[in-house]
Structure 1
Amino acid sequence: MMRSALNNMWSQEISSRETHLRYRSKVDCIQAFGMPELSQTLRQFREVVYMVGSFSSGADKTLKAYVRSSHEAVTYNKLRALVSSENSLSDVDNLTVTAETALEAIAEYGPDVIPTSDLSGLQIQGEHLATLLRATYSWRNEIAGWSEALEVARRSLADQGIDPDDALYGMS
């Protein structure tokens, strides 16, 4: 009984005397920001986060922007990992993951999240890069480095013994 009363006391909203703005403690990030996935760093705070400042102060917008930019960076790095040679499985299921991840990333963050201009230093898995390029073909003019990535894919496919003209058919 006492514990329930304490929990209710800590999760109530408080109104400011001067501005009548509302403050709230013990905020669920998923509920507050409508984000189904949080970065690993913020995941530990999923159930209990203390927001400082009023709801109209911009503090909540700053945290939302941080979470979004952090998730965008994770998505960008995930796409880079998917086209690297470390992702050596190139069966239909794995290629589908690459295509779906690219399309979901564009839907969420726009075409700038596709890492076609940042492939230097990576050992490229040609079939995955070809899949990424095919999935993003409609946005090729909006994605920086898309044409250059097509040439990288062409060389990687040839090095892997795969006919680039066949794998990249229709994208030249």
Structure 2
Amino acid sequence: MAYMRTSQPTVEYFAELLQEREKLQLLFSGNEDAAMNILEKEIARVRKAVYDGSFVRGGPIALPAPRGVEAVIRQEVPVPDGPFLEGRRVQQFLIGTQHFIDMLSRFTGCTIKVIDYSHPKREKLEFVIKIRCLDAANRARVRLDIATEYVESYLERLVRH
């Protein structure tokens, strides 16, 4: 694979880079190599572009006028099983997801956290993304719906690739 800058980094290209890195790590097994350094820089660039929170560029959310008292609305979005939850990829998933969550929290004004419900006796990993919005009831619902939509689309992209 040629490590050249593409006009628009995609999730597919990012997945290809990660697979290529795994292959090179098996071949060179720890030896520092110029190709590995170039590959790592490209992975970092594409990761930043893919998980940059491009939704923030759309500007602030158009919220209705507040009505009623303040309310706290919560929702949990389960993280589906996928290849991104295997071995060393869990850490990459959590780091990439944390960046995404930070950007989404700033955009929506909701508190968003990844909770690990995994149990040591079970081998299966179990994560949930919790979303909590505090605002007037009508505005909190709008914020929660937007945050949930972005989280679900993010998880869907991870499962597909």
Higher-strand-fraction structure: 2
- Which structure has the larger Rg over C-alpha atoms? 1
Query: Is this a same-fold pair by TM over 0.5?
Result: no
TM-score, structure 1 length as denominator?
A: 0.32
Higher relative contact order (CA 8 A, sep 6+): 2
TM-score, structure 2 length as denominator?
A: 0.34
